[in-house]
Structure 1
Amino acid sequence: MKLKVNRIALKLSLLASLFILAVIAAMTGILLQQGEQAMISEMKLRSIAYARSAGEAIFPQLDTFTLHFNTQEMLKEKGVEYALILAADRRILSHTDPQKIGGIDASPVARRASESPNALVQQYSSRGVSFFDISAPVFSGNRRTGTVHIGFTRASVAGSLKDAKKQVLVLVGSAIILCIAGSILIVGWMLRPLPVLAQATLEVGKGCLDVQVNFKMKDEIGQLAQAFNRMVAGLREKEMIRSTFGRYMSKEVVDGFLNGKVSLELGGELKEMSILMSDIRDFTELSEKLPPHDVVQLLNRYFTEMVQAIGAHGGTVDKFIGDAILAVFGWPLYRQDHAKLAVTAALEMKERLAVLNGALVKEGRKPIAIGIAIHTGKAVAGNIGSLEKVQYTVIGDTVNLASRMESANKDYGTDLIVSRPVYLATSGYFDFQDIGEKPVRGRTEAVHIYQVSGHKPNRPPPPAPGSAGH
C-alpha cells in the first residue's frame, strides 16, 4: 500500500520538525554549555584539593617530594596541559616542566591569581592556542603561602564533548525524517522525553551527579540517554577519584578504595607486614652546609632512587619524615614473602645509592650515607585521623621498633640490619652477620640484630610483584 502524504499532514510534520529543531538546538546549547561548565567546575575542585595538599606539603616543613609527586599526578588527568605550584613571591616551587622550577612566573595570569583570595578561572591565548587557567590559593593555617595553577586547552573541552555533539546531530537528522514521513502523533511521542533529558542536564550543571534517565527506546533518543548516563557516571567516578586523592597518597591504596577493598571508615585492622625504615646519616649537618635549593635537589635525587627501589619489589612508601623513609611490604597488597621483598629492596637501595654517590663525587659533592632497618610483625593498618582529615597509614610497636633499630645502626657501625623475625623468614636467601642481642634506645628488652651482607650465592633476588610466575 502506497503511503499518501496530504498537505496538512506535511505542513504539520514540517511544523513539528521546526519545533523539534528548536528544542534540540536549545538542549544542545545547554548540554554543551553545562558540559563545559561542569568540566571547569570539576577542574576548579581539583585545583582546590591540589592547593590543600600543597599547603600540607609546604608547612610546617617543606616536603618537596610530595609537591612534585602531586604536580606530576595532575598531569595524568585528561586534558591537563600543565600544573604548577607558586610560592607567595611567585617563585615556582613545582612544575610539570622541571626546567621551570626555581624561576619566577611574572605573567599577568600568575599576578591576578596571586592577588585573588579565592579560586580563579582565567582564559588566555598563547601561540594561537586558547587556554583555561584555574588557580587556587594555598594556605598553611591562616597564612597564604602560595598559589596552584592547572591549565587545559579549550580544544580539550571541545574534544570531551565531541561524542555529545555527534549524538545531537544524529538526533536532529532522524527527527526531521520521522516528522516528514510520519504523523503528528509520532512527532509528539518523540518530543515527550526531551524535557526530561534537558532537566537532567540542568541538574548535572548544578552539581547533582545522582541524576539518571531511564529511557527504554532503542532509537537515537535512547542512545542519547545512554550517552548522558555514561557522562554522568564518568563525572561521578572522577569526583570520587578527586576526593580520594586528597586522602590517599599511595596508588595501591587509591586502587583499593576504588575496587572496594579499602574502607573510608575511621579505624584499622591488625595485619602482619614488614616495615623498612631508612635515614640519611648526619643530614642536619649536610643541610646546614648547602643552600636550600641544593638540599631540595639532592633530596629529590635521593628519594627518586630509593622510591624506585622500594616500588620495584612491591613496597609502598607510607610517608617521608624529613629525610627518613617509612616503607611497608605486605600491605595494602599482601605478599607472603614480604620480608624477603623488603630485604631485596634494601639491597637495591644500597646499590642505587652507590651509583648516586659516584655521580655526587664526580660533581665535587660529599657522598650520602644511610642506615636501613627492617622488622617483621603485626601492625595496625587503616584510617587514622578525624572525619575532616584522614591518613591511611600503619602504626604500632612493629613500626616503632623498626625506627629504633634504624637509629641503632649508628651505635654498631652498620648500615642494614634486620630483626630476628626477618632473619628467620629470609635466612635461606641472604647472608647475615649475627650481631647478637643488643640494647636499643627506647626498649626495655634487648633486640636480636643481624647485619645483611648480601644475597646467598646461586640465590637470585625474588622477582618483582607482577612479573612472570607471580
Structure 2
Amino acid sequence: MPPPPALDQVKLWNRFHLRLTAIYAVAAFVLVGAMSWLYYRKSYDTRLEALQEQLLATAVTTAQFLDAETLARLDGPEDAGDPAYQDGVAHLRGILERYPKLTSLYVLLRTETPGKLHFALDWSQGGVEPSAIGDEYDATDLPSMLAGLERPTVESEPVVDEFGASLSGYAPVLDRAGRSIGLVGVDVDAAEIRALRREALTIALVLFGVAALLLTAVTAVVARSIRRPLRRTIEASNAIARGDLGARLDLDRRDEFGLLSAHFNRMAKGLEEREFIRETFGRYVSPEVAATLLADRGAVPLGGEEREVTVLFSDLRGYSTISEKLAPAQVVALLNGYLTAINEVIDAHQGCVIEYLGDGVLAVFGAPNRLDGHPEKAVRCALAMRERLERFNREAEASGVAKAWRDAGLPELEARIGIHTGLVVAGSLGSPSRMKYGVIGDNVNIAARLEALNKGLETSILASGDVVRLLPEELRSAAADHGEHAVKGRARPVHVYSF
C-alpha cells in the first residue's frame, strides 16, 4: 500500500475541515443570498407600488380639479391665451413643483378617431417645451392609456413613446353627465425606476455583505477548531508512519478529538513491539510477505494454498565468469547494486520477490496478495527490468564502477528472464518453529527453464503461451513466436514467445 500524501499535498477542496466548513458556509450563503434577494424584490416592489400610488393619486386629484366643459373649449394653438388654459397650465406646474420626481403632467382629450387623442394641457420639468393645444397623440398601442379614459390606471412597467421611456398613471376627465372626454396623464422618467432598483439593490447588497462578513468570521472559527486538531493528528500519524513510535497526540479536549487522542496514544504504544518485529522480519522477506503474515497469520497457513500466479525468474548472463574474474568484495557490490535496481522495478509493478539465488531473482505476481492482470504486470515488469539494467550499465560507466569489469574483460551486464503463468502452492513452508514464504510447483520450474532457454534462442525475455494468451492485444502483438520447445523435466513441449 503506497504511503499517503503529506498534508500540504492534499488539494484544498479535498481537505475535510474545508469541505465541512464550505458545506455550512455555502448553505448559509445561499440562505442569506436568498433572503437578500427576497428583500431586494420586496423593497423594490414596495417602492414601486408607492410610486404607482403617487402617480394614480396625482392623476385622480388633478382630473377632479379640472373642469371638463372648460377643457373642451381648448381646440387649437389659438386658445393658448385663454385664461382657462393659463390657469390649467399653472395648476399643472404647481403640482410638478411640489413633486419634483414627477416629470410630466398633461391632459389629452378624445378625438373622433378611436385611439387618437389631442393635447389640451401639458407641462414638463426642466423647461421642456410643452405640446401645443391640439397636437395629436397616437395611443393605439398603449392599452393602459386607453384604459385610463374609462378608469384610473397605472402602468406596471415603463413604456417607450416619442417622448422617451416613462412610467405613467392615468385618470379620466368626466363632464357633468359623467362621460369621459379625455384623461389626465402623469409621468415619471424611467431613470427614476432604475434609481429605485439601485437603491433597493444597494441596501440588499449591504445587508448581504454584513451577513457574509459575520458568516466568514463564524466559519473561520469553526474551521480553526477542526483544522488544528486534524493537523496535529495527521502530524502524529505521519510520525508513527515514519517509525517514530515515541510520537504522541496531545489534545487536551473534552470532545471527540480528546477521545481520539487517548485512543491514538494507546495505539502508538501498542505498535512499538509490532513495528520492531516488522522491521526485523522485513529485512529477510519481501515487504508484502511480512505485511501479510503480520496482519493475519492465518491468511497463509503452514503448508500453503493453491493459487494461480505468474512466476518471473531472472539471472545474469555470464555470472560464473563475473564471480571468477572479480574479487569477492567487487562481486558483492555489483550484485547489491544490480539487485537493488531490479527489486525497485519489481516493487513498482506489484510483484513479490520470493528469494535471491545468487545473481538470480525469483518473483511472483499474484501472491501473497491477489493481483488482477498479473500476467500483464509480469511482462511489463520484465521489459522495465531490461530497460533498468541498460540504465544501470550507463550509470556504472558514468560513475567509474564499470572500470573493474572492463579491466577484467567483462561485457555489460545482461539479464535473461523467463515468465510463466500457472497454479503453484504459495505459503509458509517449513516447520512451526522455522518457516519461510515460498512458491513451489512445476510451474515455478517452467519459468526457470524458460530463463535458461534464452541462451539457445539468443533472446533476453521468454514467456510461455499461458502468459501470452492472457495479455492485452498491445503486448500480444509485440511478442515474437518461437514455437514449441522441450524443457527439462517436462514431458510436453512449451510454446514460447520472446519480447
Q: TM-score, length-normalised on structure 2?
A: 0.44
Q: TM-score, length-normalised on structure 1?
A: 0.47
Higher relative contact order (CA 8 A, sep 6+): 1
Query: Highest Rg: 1 or 2?
Result: 2
